[in-house]
Structure 1
Amino acid sequence: MSTPHGIHTIDTGFVRPGFDAAYLIVEAGHGAFIDSGTVHSVPRLLAALAEAGLEPAQVDYLILTHVHLDHAGGAGELLAQLPKATLVVHPRGARHMIDPSQLWAGASQVYGEEVMRRDYGHLRPVPAERVREAADGQCLELAGRRLQCLYTPGHAKHHMAIHDERARACFTGDTFGLSYRELDTDRGPFILPTTTPVQFDPQALHDSIDRLVALKPDRMYLTHFGPVGDIERLAADLHEQIDAMVAFAQAAAGKSDRHAWLCEALADLYAGRASAHGWHGGRKRLREMLNMDIELNAQGLEVWLDQQRRAHADATRRAAH
């Protein structure tokens, strides 16, 4: 599907329909992709490019919000099909695009080799000369259209959002949470934050959300999934849930069944909020729909909690000396 201002939403096909999006911005015969999906997504992105009336050589940029594989796994393969495009990425993510072996190894520890090859495919390295590290606030020019790269940590340290001034829109990756169309009601979209191992930072995420809202965009373009409006309400929902999730993590400290307890607490939180939002599919259906997100959020909270405990222990030892 497409939206005004030459912005095309592309379903990458990852996991299920309506789960994972990449975007194509078209301006005066030039194109820029925002995120790539996985290796398996590349034919879909090239098909969307053709549907928009552009040749691969007319793409100037592939801009990555961050290098998690549902956003960037197909970057090397896609760039190989775009002879004039430059890959733009946060400096912390650049080395992982040039040599994705560490990225693969880290994700394989979480998902396993078999799942990795099935879901993500082979990660193709990007030649170093085709990679540009974006500075915070740097503006890219797409046929005169300004696309500003803004560092937005909290979900990941290597995360950035892209502000499209002309469209009054932000491409938010995972910073502005997850909002699936199946959970929309007559009250609008439903939203929840995403932590994901291993770099969740709640205060940084609060600050990043506020930074994007301060731009007063008309739309946020989420990877999971699609454009949403009603920005102020959704931002307030995200802030409330981040605080609730942190409280869950602290309450789970020391529990022998910490992970399972967190998963159920998160399911209760989301089910209660979805019901209050007017979604009446029930907790069981919501739990099935959000199973992957709940699992990853619980893992992200556990990693954060362990990091906090280690930092406190280190500070205590330093004070004792």
Structure 2
Amino acid sequence: MAALPSFAQDLGDGIVAIDTGFHRPLFDAAYLVVENGRAAFVDSGTNFGVPRLLAALEALGLARDAVDYVIPTHVHLDHAGGVGLLMRSLPRAKAIVHPRGARHMIDPSALVAGATAVYGEAEIARSYGSIVGVDAARVRESCDGMTIELAGRPLQLIDTPGHARHHHCVWDARTKGFFTGDTFGLSYREFDTAQGPWLLPTTTPVQFEPDRLRESVQRLLSYRPECMYLTHYGRVRDVQRLGASLLEQLDRLVAIGRALKSAPDRHAALERALRDEYLAIAAARGCRLGEDETMQLLGMDVTLNAQGIAVWLDREAAA
């Protein structure tokens, strides 16, 4: 086996984290799970990350037909935008997709249109490229509690709505860890301090539902996991502490949203409130980054989280 490329990290127990290169280093991970010469990818990143995934596979001495599964946690483009292109290089792989997202993997036109409405056409082209679909015959829909076998290694998929209704998480009993997509939030390594990692919820549009997200996080925690494999970014431990913090922050975001639901220029007000919230947490945790650097790293999350909270508020008001 050749040495892994610099963008890949061997986590042990047959799991490799691959930095897909999206936006900045250590922002967007895909995972390669290897067992007895067979392999599965969990999340893919964008089209531009696919060469990295294939390079990691090659470095491990695995042929492309050794990959049995590609499992996007959900169909947001930073997690699944490269699935179609990746599958073209993996002749034996099946895509295991949440039933609410399967049609979007087969025909991504509506998915691309929705993302374009949020990010704009130029940004979609720059960051994601031309999204291609997956042959319907190669797509297998998951169901809650379903277990697939990777060369005898069980991987269980559970339904975890709240961030998106098309979200499932993958439980690896070997490592007692979940591949969590966005359900268990974000944890950027730049914010690690002596207190450990910082985890924050992601409320991006358009299907943020705080009550369901709380239930999903609590369900993950009920497995008593020893680690979580985050897409943004990497493996984290001390899971029960992080989960409690995540739920506390979720409650605060709900309170912020409801307090500002009728504010003039609501989006700007939500952005200001989220900025203040994140800066306060970072300072309390002993983060040494300045305000400008902190917001440079979190600015996109502030904007998207404000948008997602606004969509939820409008949906709640219309109910």
TM-score band by shorter chain is over 0.9
TM-score scaled to structure 1, two decimals?
0.96
The yes-or-no answer on 1:232 pairing with 2:219 is no
CA drift at 1:282:
2.8
| 2:30 counterpart residue number | 22
| 1:115 counterpart residue number | 123
| 1:154 counterpart residue number | 162
| 1:283 counterpart residue number | 291
The yes-or-no answer on 1:297 pairing with 2:281 is no
**Which residue, 10, 27, 38 being the options, matches 2:46?**
38
Structure 2 unaligned runs (5+)?
Answer: 1-8
- Counterpart Cα distance in 1 of 2:177 and 2:29: 15
Instruction: Give the RMSD, CA atoms, in angstroms.
Output: 0.7
| 1:195 counterpart residue number | 203
Q: Deviations over 1:96-144 (max 9, x none)?
A: 0010000011111111111111110111110000000001000010000
| 1:165 counterpart residue number | 173
Counterpart of 2:142, as a letter, is A
| 2:11 counterpart residue number | 3
- Counterpart Cα distance in 2 of 1:49 and 1:152: 29
SS at match of 1:157: coil
What's the % identity of the aligned pairs?
A: 57
Runs of 4+ in 1 over 3 A off after TM superposition: none
| 2:263 counterpart residue number | 255
Structure 1 residues 261-270 or 275-284, which shifts more? 275-284
Note if contact 1:66-1:156 (Cα within 8 Å) is conserved in structure 2.
Answer: yes
CA drift at 1:151:
0.5
CA drift at 1:286:
1.2
> What is the total number of aligned residue pairs between the two structures?
311
SS at match of 2:229: strand
- Counterpart Cα distance in 1 of 2:63 and 2:177: 25
- Counterpart Cα distance in 1 of 2:290 and 2:150: 45
- Counterpart Cα distance in 2 of 1:123 and 1:187: 40
| 1:264 counterpart residue number | 272
Q: Deviations over 1:158-204 (max 9, x none)?
A: 00000001111100000000000000011110110001101001011
**Which residue, 97, 108, 116 being the options, matches 1:100?**
108
Task: Map 1:73-84 onto structure 2 (within 5 A).
Answer: 73-84=81-92
Counterpart of 1:145, as a letter, is R
Q: Deviations over 1:216-267 (max 9, x none)?
A: 1111000000000011111111111111111111111111121111111111
The yes-or-no answer on 1:182 pairing with 2:190 is yes
| 1:317 counterpart residue number | none
TM-score scaled to structure 2, two decimals?
0.96
Note if contact 1:33-1:62 (Cα within 8 Å) is conserved in structure 2.
Answer: yes
- Counterpart Cα distance in 2 of 1:117 and 1:308: 33
Note if contact 1:271-1:282 (Cα within 8 Å) is conserved in structure 2.
Answer: no
| 1:319 counterpart residue number | none
| 1:216 counterpart residue number | 224
CA drift at 1:280:
2.3
**Which residue, 86, 95, 109 being the options, matches 2:94?**
86
SS at match of 2:100: helix
Q: Deviations over 1:35-82 (max 9, x none)?
A: 110011100000011112211100000011000000000000000000
SS at match of 1:253: coil
Counterpart of 2:17, as a letter, is T
Counterpart of 1:235, as a letter, is G
- Counterpart Cα distance in 1 of 2:108 and 2:316: 29
- Counterpart Cα distance in 2 of 1:291 and 1:273: 15
Note if contact 1:37-1:72 (Cα within 8 Å) is conserved in structure 2.
Answer: yes
Note if contact 1:268-1:283 (Cα within 8 Å) is conserved in structure 2.
Answer: no
- Counterpart Cα distance in 1 of 2:108 and 2:126: 17
SS at match of 2:175: coil
Note if contact 1:22-1:36 (Cα within 8 Å) is conserved in structure 2.
Answer: yes
SS at match of 1:220: strand
Counterpart of 1:61, as a letter, is Y
Note if contact 1:267-1:283 (Cα within 8 Å) is conserved in structure 2.
Answer: no
